[in-house]
Amino acid sequence: MSATGSFNAFAMAQAQFDKSAETMGLDKGSRALLRMPMRESHFIIPVHMDDGSIEVFRGFRVQHNDARGPCKGGIRFHPQETIDTVRALSMWMTWKCAVADIPLGGGKGGVICDPHNLSQREQEAICRGWVRQLAREVGPVRDVPAPDVMTNSQHMLWMLDEFETIHGGRYPGFITGKPVGMGGSLGRTQATGYGVVYTIREALKELDVRPQDTCASFQGFGNVGQYAIELYNQIGGTVTCVSSWDQDEQTSYSLAKSDGVDLAELRSVTDKFGGIDKGKAQDLGYTCLPGDAWIEQDVDILVPAALENQITAETAPQMSGRVKLIAEGANGPTTPEADAIINERGIFVIPDFLANAGGVTCSYFEQVQSNMNYYWEQDEVLGKLDLKMTSAYLAVSQLAQRQKAYMRDAAYMLAIERVALACKDRGWI
Ligand code: NAD
């Protein structure tokens, strides 16, 4: 598989894998096995639409590798979904679960559709149709789906209901992202943001910097950004700038306050999509700056927690000389060209699939609790999450120190090594 001119996520995922495999000197058999998904399902879902017509949707499930445990990964509903995007995302899930050292493999699924143009009933029919096509390939011991782009806990419950109807029992461990009280886990809302800060805390220890002596700038004030700021404040850090998307103006703005943003105050002027009302924020004493200004701030820590492709060859040179740490809350915020600049400047990076692994780790806890049908208190969930994230961080940073490797490369090497070992131990290669 090679890139054909236009961006191909799977070609990129394979190129990243090939580079790490080469550096590690991975054997030929492991390379051949791991650069392709082990299984793929392509199918159609016929739906009786509300207007009486029949529409046929295309669905996918890709299971990249399950040597370390059942596959895990979300289901996306998107009009531009492609099989190569799903393949790439399933491969990245394999590495994310391995780096977090949870006993799960990588999977991803999708349906080509646009929920904006579908009624709730039509969406329910797609969810049930997806499960009917895959009922024997997925399940608590095979492959555990979750919400992703444009799917939520309601979609997960419809899918669970269909799965349980087909299999004749209650199997809450089939799927994660369920609401608390219907098999969901406490702590899931905080998990990704808190996980980012557990890794920041450990990195600062290694850099010999006290959190209370640091300040940070954030891109994004949604689920990840808000909970990361909450815990970062609790460990003593100060956030001086936050950027978010302005839906009315179709552009982004940064809101700055030199003595530190007040999280509760800022939340009170933010909508449910994480968009901050800039007028109200200015009334509260915040300075409104252009959207890109978050990256230029005179801070110790940058946390991209919005979108992919934000720290680029163009924006990376705008980072202040004070920046010592970048913690990637978002998936794929940094381009390879920017990585080279960051590495050269000696800025420490906590790469995305390590920094934001708190989300999938808590989904794993949800699956464990669902399989036991016994649910933990929030403190217990977050305590276990801290332990897992701290261990994952230390394993990667120790490897990076031993091999004098860039943190992103070390994370890849550790993940690939663990998955390759599981394949070998099982006798697959
Ligand atoms: P969200 O939708 O809750 O919030 C996104 C935030 O980014 C909002 O504040 C929005 O205003 C802001 N934003 C959007 N475009 C922007 C732009 N151009 N400039 C500045 N801000 C912009 O999303 P989330 O759940 O917080 O996820 C954020 C990132 O983290 C995504 O890359 C996601 O894939 C990744 N991630 C999320 C989770 C999770 O559990 N939520 C887990 C792993 C990775």
Structure tokens at 416: 């690939």
- d(Cα 252, Cα 106) in Å, to the nearest integer? 33
Distance, CA 230 to ligand 1 centroid (Å)?
A: 16
pLDDT of residue 3: 36
pLDDT beyond 90 at 246: yes
Strands 325-327 and 301-304: parallel
Nearest-Å Rg of the Cα atoms of the chain is: 21
Average pLDDT of span 245-262? 96
Residue 113 sits at the vertex; the CA angle it makes with 109 and 115, to the nearest 5 degrees, is 105
Ramachandran area for residue 373 (φ above 0: left; ψ -120 to 50: alpha; else beta): left
Distance, CA 223 to ligand 1 centroid (Å)?
A: 7
Length of the chain (residues): 429
pLDDT tens figures, 95-133: 999 999 999 999 999 999 999 999 999 999 999 999 999
- d(Cα 219, Cα 276) in Å, to the nearest integer? 12
pLDDT of residue 12: 84
If pLDDT is split at 50, 70 and 90, which confidence band does 1 have?
very low
Closest residue by CA, ligand 1 atom 30: 330
The whole-angstrom distance between residue 331's C-alpha and the CA centroid of its chain comes to: 6
pLDDT beyond 90 at 8: no
Between 378-403 and 407-425, two packed helices, what is the crossing angle to 10 degrees?
Answer: 100
Closest atom of ligand 1 to 332 CA is: 32
pLDDT of residue 7: 74
**404 catalytic, yes or no?**
no
The whole-angstrom distance between residue 208's C-alpha and the CA centroid of its chain comes to: 28
- d(Cα 102, Cα 368) in Å, to the nearest integer? 11
The SS3 of residue 327 is strand
The whole-angstrom distance between residue 128's C-alpha and the CA centroid of its chain comes to: 25
Distance, CA 140 to ligand 1 centroid (Å)?
A: 28
pLDDT tens figures, 344-373: 999 999 999 999 999 999 999 999 999 999
Closest atom of ligand 1 to 244 CA is: 21
C-alpha closest to that of 201 among 379, 405, 358: 358
The whole-angstrom distance between residue 88's C-alpha and the CA centroid of its chain comes to: 13
Could you identify the residue written with the tokens 């977050």?
A: 382
* Residue of 149, 150, 244, 251 with the most ligand 1 atoms within 8 Å of its CB, for mutation: 244
The SS3 of residue 182 is coil
Contacts of 361 (CB under 8 A, 6+ apart): 100, 102, 191, 195, 385, 388, 389
* Residue of 223, 227, 277 with the most ligand 1 atoms within 8 Å of its CB, for mutation: 223
pLDDT tens figures, 312-325: 999 999 999 999 99
pLDDT of residue 308: 86
Closest atom of ligand 1 to 220 CA is: 7
- d(Cα 348, Cα 325) in Å, to the nearest integer? 5
Closest residue by CA, ligand 1 atom 31: 330
C-alpha closest to that of 149 among 196, 87, 81: 81
The SS3 of residue 324 is coil
Distance, CA 268 to ligand 1 centroid (Å)?
A: 18
Catalytic annotation, pick one of 19, 72, 96, 108:
108
Closest atom of ligand 1 to 308 CA is: 32
Residue 23 sits at the vertex; the CA angle it makes with 17 and 26, to the nearest 5 degrees, is 70
- d(Cα 180, Cα 190) in Å, to the nearest integer? 13
- d(Cα 378, Cα 11) in Å, to the nearest integer? 40
Q: Which residues line ligand 1 (CB under 6 A)?
A: 192, 219-225, 243-245, 252, 273-275, 291, 305-307, 329-331, 356, 359
Average pLDDT of span 48-53? 98
If pLDDT is split at 50, 70 and 90, which confidence band does 273 have?
confident
If pLDDT is split at 50, 70 and 90, which confidence band does 142 have?
very high
pLDDT tens figures, 293-310: 999 999 999 999 999 889
What is the pTM (predicted TM-score) of this model? 0.95
Average pLDDT of span 219-231? 97
Average pLDDT of span 131-136? 98
